[in-house]
Structure 1
Amino acid sequence: MKKIFLLTIIIITSITMLGETKALVIGIGEYQDETITDLPGAIKDAEQFKETILCRHRL
């Protein structure tokens, strides 16, 4: 399971409900499949993307 969290996937889900905006950002940098190259900067990228969203939406 730990390797799954290191796989790079950034998922943004925006939901407008009662005036609220929500987003889910996930950074995973290591694949379970050894034939796929790991992405060591994925978690940092997800964190920076989160900060960008917060800044642009003033959250």
Structure 2
Amino acid sequence: MDNNLLNVKQACDALDTSRATLYRHLKSGALPSIRVFGRVYVKRTTIETLLNEGTAQ
């Protein structure tokens, strides 16, 4: 798979959050995702942007 995409476990690790919380954000649309053959992926750049916005404030 593309290095620019993180699966759910990788995204949870990067954001230091639980799967339930990640899926809640995915469901609400707060965190955009991509589905490939039924699997959920989040763009690495999206995670990096979230982390940078959190530290900038």
Higher RCO (CA < 8 A, seq sep 6+): 2
Structure number having the greater strand percentage: 2
The question of a shared fold, defined as TM-score above 0.5 by the shorter chain, is answered with: no
TM-score category of the 2 structures, normalised to the smaller one? 0.3 to 0.5
Structure with the larger helix share: 2
Output the TM-score relative to the length of structure 1. 0.34
Return the index of the structure with the highest Cα Rg: 1
